[in-house]
Protein backbone atom coordinates (compact mmCIF):
# COMPACT_ATOMS: atom_id res chain seq x y z
CA UNK A 1 0.00 0.00 0.00
CA UNK A 2 1.35 3.44 -0.95
CA UNK A 3 1.28 5.84 2.02
CA UNK A 4 3.24 8.77 0.59
CA UNK A 5 4.55 10.20 -2.68
CA UNK A 6 6.81 13.19 -3.20
CA UNK A 7 8.76 14.75 -6.03
CA UNK A 8 11.13 17.68 -6.41
CA UNK A 9 13.25 19.35 -9.03
CA UNK A 10 16.29 21.42 -8.08
CA UNK A 11 18.32 23.85 -10.15
CA UNK A 12 21.93 22.66 -9.99
CA UNK A 13 23.12 26.25 -10.58
CA UNK A 14 21.27 27.39 -7.45
CA UNK A 15 22.91 24.66 -5.37
CA UNK A 16 26.27 25.69 -6.84
CA UNK A 17 25.73 29.32 -5.81
CA UNK A 18 24.71 28.19 -2.32
CA UNK A 19 27.83 26.02 -2.03
CA UNK A 20 30.00 28.94 -3.18
CA UNK A 21 28.38 31.33 -0.73
CA UNK A 22 28.04 29.13 2.37
CA UNK A 23 30.46 26.28 1.66
CA UNK A 24 30.93 23.76 4.43
CA UNK A 25 28.35 25.45 6.66
CA UNK A 26 25.63 24.59 4.11
CA UNK A 27 26.96 21.06 3.57
CA UNK A 28 27.11 20.31 7.31
CA UNK A 29 23.64 21.72 7.94
CA UNK A 30 21.86 19.80 5.18
CA UNK A 31 23.72 16.61 4.25
CA UNK A 32 24.55 13.47 6.24
CA UNK A 33 28.12 12.21 6.47
CA UNK A 34 27.30 9.43 4.00
CA UNK A 35 25.91 11.94 1.49
CA UNK A 36 28.91 14.21 1.93
CA UNK A 37 31.37 11.37 1.37
CA UNK A 38 29.50 10.20 -1.73
CA UNK A 39 29.17 13.68 -3.24
CA UNK A 40 32.74 14.75 -2.51
CA UNK A 41 34.02 11.70 -4.46
CA UNK A 42 32.00 12.58 -7.54
CA UNK A 43 33.39 14.34 -10.59
CA UNK A 44 30.03 16.16 -10.79
CA UNK A 45 30.09 17.13 -7.10
CA UNK A 46 27.48 19.89 -7.32
CA UNK A 47 25.01 17.74 -9.29
CA UNK A 48 25.41 15.01 -6.67
CA UNK A 49 24.51 17.42 -3.89
CA UNK A 50 21.60 18.79 -5.95
CA UNK A 51 20.15 15.30 -6.45
CA UNK A 52 20.34 14.64 -2.73
CA UNK A 53 18.74 18.03 -2.00
CA UNK A 54 15.86 17.13 -4.33
CA UNK A 55 15.52 13.69 -2.66
CA UNK A 56 15.25 15.30 0.78
CA UNK A 57 12.57 17.69 -0.48
CA UNK A 58 10.69 14.83 -2.15
CA UNK A 59 10.95 12.70 1.00
CA UNK A 60 9.60 15.49 3.20
CA UNK A 61 6.63 15.76 0.84
CA UNK A 62 6.08 11.99 0.90
CA UNK A 63 6.13 12.17 4.71
CA UNK A 64 3.44 14.85 4.47
CA UNK A 65 5.37 17.30 6.62
CA UNK A 66 7.68 19.35 4.47
CA UNK A 67 10.57 20.60 6.57
CA UNK A 68 8.54 21.17 9.71
CA UNK A 69 6.71 19.14 12.33
CA UNK A 70 10.01 17.91 13.77
CA UNK A 71 11.55 16.83 10.44
CA UNK A 72 14.87 18.36 9.42
CA UNK A 73 17.39 18.00 6.58
CA UNK A 74 19.94 15.68 8.15
CA UNK A 75 17.26 13.24 9.34
CA UNK A 76 16.66 12.21 5.73
CA UNK A 77 19.68 10.77 3.98
CA UNK A 78 20.14 9.13 0.60
CA UNK A 79 21.92 5.80 0.99
CA UNK A 80 22.46 2.99 -1.48
CA UNK A 81 21.41 -0.63 -1.22
CA UNK A 82 24.08 -3.26 -2.00
CA UNK A 83 22.74 -3.26 -5.59
CA UNK A 84 23.49 0.47 -5.85
CA UNK A 85 19.80 1.41 -5.84
CA UNK A 86 19.16 4.57 -3.78
CA UNK A 87 16.80 4.65 -0.83
CA UNK A 88 16.35 6.94 2.17
CA UNK A 89 17.56 6.31 5.68
CA UNK A 90 15.39 8.22 8.14
CA UNK A 91 16.36 9.14 11.70
CA UNK A 92 15.02 11.40 14.46
CA UNK A 93 11.77 13.21 13.74
CA UNK A 94 11.63 11.89 10.17
CA UNK A 95 11.73 8.28 11.43
CA UNK A 96 9.04 9.09 14.01
CA UNK A 97 6.82 10.57 11.28
CA UNK A 98 7.43 7.54 9.05
CA UNK A 99 6.27 5.20 11.83
CA UNK A 100 3.01 7.15 12.17
CA UNK A 101 2.23 6.57 8.48
CA UNK A 102 2.63 2.79 8.61
CA UNK A 103 -0.37 0.75 9.78
CA UNK A 104 0.17 -1.86 12.52
CA UNK A 105 1.60 -5.13 11.26
CA UNK A 106 3.23 -3.52 8.23
CA UNK A 107 6.76 -2.26 7.62
CA UNK A 108 7.95 0.76 5.64
CA UNK A 109 9.82 0.61 2.36
CA UNK A 110 11.09 3.85 0.85
CA UNK A 111 11.62 3.88 -2.91
CA UNK A 112 13.81 6.65 -4.36
CA UNK A 113 14.89 7.62 -7.83
CA UNK A 114 17.26 10.50 -8.50
CA UNK A 115 18.57 11.90 -11.77
CA UNK A 116 20.16 14.98 -13.22
CA UNK A 117 20.41 16.63 -16.61
CA UNK A 118 22.19 19.94 -16.22
CA UNK A 119 20.90 22.38 -15.10
CA UNK A 120 18.33 20.30 -13.20
CA UNK A 121 18.32 17.50 -10.65
CA UNK A 122 15.15 15.57 -9.91
CA UNK A 123 13.94 13.07 -7.33
CA UNK A 124 10.86 10.98 -6.65
CA UNK A 125 10.12 9.25 -3.35
CA UNK A 126 7.40 6.68 -2.74
CA UNK A 127 6.74 5.36 0.75
CA UNK A 128 5.12 1.95 0.82
CA UNK A 129 3.71 -0.11 3.70
CA UNK A 130 4.40 -3.80 3.17
CA UNK A 131 3.85 -6.98 5.22
CA UNK A 132 6.45 -7.14 7.99
CA UNK A 133 7.68 -10.55 6.88
CA UNK A 134 8.55 -9.41 3.33
CA UNK A 135 12.31 -9.80 2.75
CA UNK A 136 14.06 -6.46 2.34
CA UNK A 137 17.74 -5.79 2.23
CA UNK A 138 17.61 -2.06 2.88
CA UNK A 139 19.82 0.11 5.06
CA UNK A 140 17.87 -0.62 8.24
CA UNK A 141 17.79 -4.41 8.05
Matching CATH number, 2-131, of 3.30.70.2740, 3.40.720.10, 3.40.50.300, 3.90.470.20: 3.90.470.20
**Residue 3 region, left (φ>0) first, then alpha (ψ -120 to 50), else beta?**
alpha
> Which residues, at least 6 apart from 13, have a Cβ–Cβ distance to it below 8 Å?
119
Distance CA 75, CA 119 (A): 26
Other C-beta atoms lying within 10 Å of the C-beta of residue 83? 6
pTM for this prediction: 0.91
- Determine whether the annotation assigns residue 57 to a binding site: yes
Query: What pLDDT score does 47 carry?
Result: 98
- Determine whether the annotation assigns residue 8 to a binding site: yes
Query: What pLDDT score does 135 carry?
Result: 63
Query: What pLDDT score does 133 carry?
Result: 78
Per-residue pLDDT 10s for the chain (141 aa) are 999 999 999 999 999 999 999 999 999 999 999 999 999 999 999 999 999 999 999 999 999 987 767 789 999 999 999 999 999 999 999 999 999 999 999 999 999 999 999 999 999 999 999 998 776 555 554
Q: Where are the domains of the chain?
A: 2-131
Query: What pLDDT score does 141 carry?
Result: 45
Distance CA 89, CA 110 (A): 8
**Residue 75 region, left (φ>0) first, then alpha (ψ -120 to 50), else beta?**
alpha
Amino acid sequence: MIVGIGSDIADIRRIERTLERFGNRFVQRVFTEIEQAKSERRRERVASYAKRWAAKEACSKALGTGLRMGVNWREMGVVNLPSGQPTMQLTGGAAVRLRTLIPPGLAPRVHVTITDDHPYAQAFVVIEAIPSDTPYFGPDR
